[in-house]
Structure 1
Amino acid sequence: MNSRRQFLKGVAATLALPSLDAFGGSLPAAAAHPRRLAFVYVPNGVNLSRWLPPGETLQFADSLAPLAGMEKHISLLRHLDHDKARANGDGAGDHARANATFLTGCQARKTAGADIRAGISVDQIAARQIGHETRLPSLELTTDPARRSGQCDSGYSCAYQFNLSWLDEDTPAPAERDPRLVFEKLFGSGNAREDAARRVRRKSILDFVRGDAKRLQSRLGPTDRGKVDEYLTSVRSLEKRIENAERHRPAKPPIERPDGIPASYAEHIRLQFELMALAFQTDSTRVSTFLLAHDGSNRPFPELGIANGHHAISHHRNDAELLDQIAVIDRFYAEQFAWFLQRLEETKEGEGSLLDHSMIVYGSGIGDGNRHNHDDLPLLLAGGGGGSLNPGRIVRAGEGTPMTNLHLALLDRMGVHAERVGDSNGVLTGI
């Protein structure tokens, strides 16, 4: 253990290490390969006829076809609801409630003012209990600009729609949109001035640790040397992608600094997924959320040949052309998620992979965007949960089961005690 402490002490940028056999052999299995928990949100519901399996066994339909070959790592969940995302006397505002309720299971107070209220989210329940074991208690990601005030949906504050994670009932945990800032949060020195100076000098974080890394690798076996090489290569590759995004952004007024956000939406999503993977790989955090886009997002997809906004299309009125466009968007999001899962599967950890030790919920707080329904939500559960999950199936809960029962089941597997999450009424079994 002295080698690792000396290495970390000498790393100016506090670069975290991946799990190595040389350092984990004397640790309990749970400490050597901890479980990770993530939630990935898809906006505006889906085209259910092209999203759900055609039969009784897990076979991915058109919209989820990019996940083909990953069936053994994924379960499709049926009949999980979010009752608190329904109006329940509050009128319109399903998009705001879908986001606010997805991880909290609580009815959002209908207000566009500062008196917002939802509930602590499942990820933050976990972060409170296990967050002290990692550098960051949790990591919140998005592709949207931050919004914590103003009116966004039928009298609801924008805070509901633009945040998945809630620290407590009236405090959302703001998500980070800029991959550069996420990267610095994970791998920076903690000194903003030093990190800014390094960027001006175009120095890689790896330039500050190269000598320490070589000394460490001289003490490692072949397997661990390969892990360190692969990890450092991944870090540098990610740096280059962010730098490239900064250099090739369209010209902006000189008063605004480059923000590292790619012009390509797909590249933006994959950069954020890559950062989540590295955060898990280095045990910088074990809990993360990713809002791919807020519910109600009206982003067009010209790269897919879709000029109209996603939200407008989601009100399809059973128009065949609009339903086809929704399916294309659903498939686009599935492609990005498949890329992330493959990235986790390729990252070896002990006898398995990072995916084997993760639990990742992917889905939407709305079923069909035209109906704005919040029952039988489109949900996937990926990963092995450190051997605690049994993927590769369609898991059918009883009709009307709160999605928060799933949250309780995942918390239990993370070693986190919770009596309830929002409107939960039990622990989901059979997953």
Structure 2
Amino acid sequence: MKMQPTRRHFLKGLGLAVALPAMESLMPGTAQAATAAKTATTAAGDPLRSAFLYVPNGVNVEKWFPTGTGKDYKLNATMQPLEGLRGDFQVVSGLAHQHGFAGKDGAGDHARAHASFLTGARPKKTAGSDIEVGISIDQEMAKSLGHETRLPSLELSCDGARKSGSCDSGYSCAYQFNLSWRSPNTPMAAESNPRLVFERLFGRGNGDERQRNFDQRMAERRSVLDFVMGETKTMSKQLGRNDVKKLDEYLTGVREIEQRIQNAEKFRDLPEAAMDAPSGIPKEYADHMRLMFDLLALSFQTDSTRVASFMLAHDGSNRSFREIGVSEGHHSLSHHKNEKETLEKIAKVDHFYVTQLAYFLEKLKSLKDPSGASVLDNSMIVYGSGLCDGNRHNHDNLPVILAGKGGGTFETGRHVQLDVKQRTPMSNLFVTMMDRMGIREPEFGDSTGPLTVI
């Protein structure tokens, strides 16, 4: 029986230890031979990706939301950078995160906005180590899809990571500085240094040196892991019941490391980098974001991962934007008190962020998958904030853009206006996205069902 060539066989035949962008003739299931549905795969056999992008502090509502609905809508001032892409996304208005509202917890809207955005869960109000919220949608996807790619997921940020301390009205900083949650108690620390992201994707060093370094690192990790497992087996015979329980918890973590090593070894051929390794974090904020977007696009193009999150800034961020003529801090401006001049500055910041989104979407649109569809066509990109109006601190009618065609399953080029009074859970969108990824879960977070109108 004649075997279909794979990317791995092709590279081995060339004597190369690199991976390539997805190519039709080297895909395990080609467009012509697409059969049963697979997870995170389009009907044509291309990879299907999901990314979640977070912007802080809400928006200038009057300059954000489009006028009109359906195909015959008009973009507002903030979204003008997306005009040339209007056939590649849809604006979804009316989604809400009920767990962002105060309830009995009082102040802390920025922490709740951030923590609930991808989890659909209410964070426990604590500044201690007993943090608790919920698994995030990206990690829920990664649990089912992680074995398909070298990296189960990718977590990016333009802010530093924090997992402890008190940040917002008695809420732990972990809630505000982590978008992705592996479990209700464990945030996934995001990487803000482009060079470290590059090395995670493509290895350290240059050319063949990257592959040698990677193989050596895997061998060292395997050696240390074998030693640890051997030592713990000997130790377990000498422990009491309580200590055995603690050891079991420790070994659970060790086994998870082992699984990650096994997955890394399965995808040991590192992707070929289509760019030079970054020197570090750029001085200008826009350059930092665009460099991270470039790396995210490459991770999708090389099929290094199919799930990613990117925190452009944490909620409550008081960054100033002198490069666009806004010297005041963003958080300070968000409490605008309906002052016209302040609202205009917020609109400038909103426009700045949407400009970076347009850059990313154009990048994805320029990259092609084996079927001829663009990487953007075969993606689901959620861009939004956990607050609507920063002055009101409201968590309904959230500003959300859903870009990409989901492998041909989304109807783009329109404004979807949901009933604001209904406060449709944003988690409903996530249920639908999981379904598109081939993950049949009827609920997520505080969902009430799938979002069928997209």
Q: TM-score range by the shorter chain?
A: 0.7 to 0.9
Unaligned residue ranges in structure 2 (runs of 5+): 36-40, 213-270
**TM-score (structure 2 length as normaliser):** 0.79
**Does structure 2 conserve the Cα–Cα contact (< 8 Å) formed by 1:238 and 1:271?**
no
Superposed, 1:18-167 pairs within 5 Å as 18-24=21-27, 25=30, 28=34, 30=41, 32-56=45-69, 57-167=72-182
**Does structure 1 conserve the Cα–Cα contact (< 8 Å) formed by 2:154 and 2:308?**
yes
State the Cα deviation string for residues 326-345 of structure 1 (Å, max 9, x = none).
00000000010000000011
Distance 1:342 1:401 in 2: 30
Residues 420, 265 of structure 1: alpha-carbon distance in 2 compared, 3 angstrom cutoff: same
| Letter in structure 2 aligned against 1:172 | P
Distance 2:426 2:146 in 1: 23
Equivalent residue for 1:426?
449
Residues 262, 204 of structure 1: alpha-carbon distance in 2 compared, 3 angstrom cutoff: farther
**Does structure 1 conserve the Cα–Cα contact (< 8 Å) formed by 2:95 and 2:424?**
yes
Distance 1:10 1:313 in 2: 59
Deviation at 1:7, TM superposition (A): 5.2
| Letter in structure 1 aligned against 2:450 | V
Equivalent residue for 1:296?
316
> In the alignment, is residue 342 of structure 1 matched against residue 368 of structure 2?
no
What percentage of aligned pairs have identical amino acids?
A: 52
Corresponding residue SS for 2:407 = helix
**Does structure 2 conserve the Cα–Cα contact (< 8 Å) formed by 1:58 and 1:392?**
no
Distance 2:188 2:15 in 1: 28
> In the alignment, is residue 17 of structure 1 matched against residue 20 of structure 2?
yes
| Letter in structure 1 aligned against 2:275 | S
Residues 347, 87 of structure 1: alpha-carbon distance in 2 compared, 3 angstrom cutoff: same
Deviation at 1:396, TM superposition (A): 2.3
**Does structure 2 conserve the Cα–Cα contact (< 8 Å) formed by 1:11 and 1:208?**
no
Distance 1:15 1:105 in 2: 39
Equivalent residue for 2:232?
none
Deviation at 1:17, TM superposition (A): 1.6
Larger Rg: 2
State the Cα deviation string for residues 209-263 of structure 1 (Å, max 9, x = none).
9xxxxxxxxxxxxxxxxxxxxx96xx34343xx1xxx3xxxxxxxxxxxxx0000
Distance 1:138 1:179 in 2: 16
Equivalent residue for 1:264?
284
**Does structure 1 conserve the Cα–Cα contact (< 8 Å) formed by 2:64 and 2:78?**
yes
Deviation at 1:61, TM superposition (A): 1.0
Equivalent residue for 2:391?
370
**Does structure 2 conserve the Cα–Cα contact (< 8 Å) formed by 1:204 and 1:236?**
no
| Letter in structure 2 aligned against 1:294 | H
> In the alignment, is residue 403 of structure 1 matched against residue 426 of structure 2?
yes
State the Cα deviation string for residues 43-102 of structure 1 (Å, max 9, x = none).
000001001113333322111110011111111111111000111110000000111000
State the Cα deviation string for residues 310-335 of structure 1 (Å, max 9, x = none).
00011100111110000000000001
Distance 2:380 2:209 in 1: 30
Corresponding residue SS for 1:182 = helix
Corresponding residue SS for 2:182 = strand
Distance 2:20 2:394 in 1: 44
Which residue, out of 179, 182, 198, partners 1:183?
A: 198
Bigger drift between 29-38 and 67-76 goes to 29-38
Equivalent residue for 1:237?
275
| Letter in structure 2 aligned against 1:61 | N
**Does structure 2 conserve the Cα–Cα contact (< 8 Å) formed by 1:41 and 1:363?**
yes
Corresponding residue SS for 1:390 = coil
**Does structure 1 conserve the Cα–Cα contact (< 8 Å) formed by 2:61 and 2:389?**
yes
Distance 1:149 1:13 in 2: 44
**Does structure 1 conserve the Cα–Cα contact (< 8 Å) formed by 2:141 and 2:439?**
yes
**Does structure 1 conserve the Cα–Cα contact (< 8 Å) formed by 2:442 and 2:449?**
no
Distance 1:204 1:322 in 2: 50
Deviation at 1:16, TM superposition (A): 3.0
Distance 2:322 2:154 in 1: 30
**Does structure 1 conserve the Cα–Cα contact (< 8 Å) formed by 2:59 and 2:347?**
yes
Residues 208, 415 of structure 1: alpha-carbon distance in 2 compared, 3 angstrom cutoff: closer
**Does structure 1 conserve the Cα–Cα contact (< 8 Å) formed by 2:330 and 2:346?**
yes
Distance 1:310 1:94 in 2: 15
Corresponding residue SS for 1:136 = coil
Superposed, 1:215-234 pairs within 5 Å as none
Distance 1:135 1:16 in 2: 11
**TM-score (structure 1 length as normaliser):** 0.84
Bigger drift between 127-136 and 25-34 goes to 25-34
**Does structure 2 conserve the Cα–Cα contact (< 8 Å) formed by 1:13 and 1:187?**
no
**Does structure 2 conserve the Cα–Cα contact (< 8 Å) formed by 1:114 and 1:149?**
yes
Which residue, out of 184, 198, 210, partners 1:169?
A: 184
Corresponding residue SS for 1:144 = coil
State the Cα deviation string for residues 380-419 of structure 1 (Å, max 9, x = none).
0000100111111111233311110001011100001223
**Does structure 2 conserve the Cα–Cα contact (< 8 Å) formed by 1:179 and 1:272?**
yes
Corresponding residue SS for 1:106 = coil
Aligned CA RMSD, in angstroms, stands at 2.1
Distance 2:347 2:161 in 1: 28
Unaligned residue ranges in structure 1 (runs of 5+): 189-194, 210-230, 247-259
Deviation at 1:11, TM superposition (A): 9.6
Would you say how many aligned residue pairs link Structure 1 and Structure 2? Answer: 378
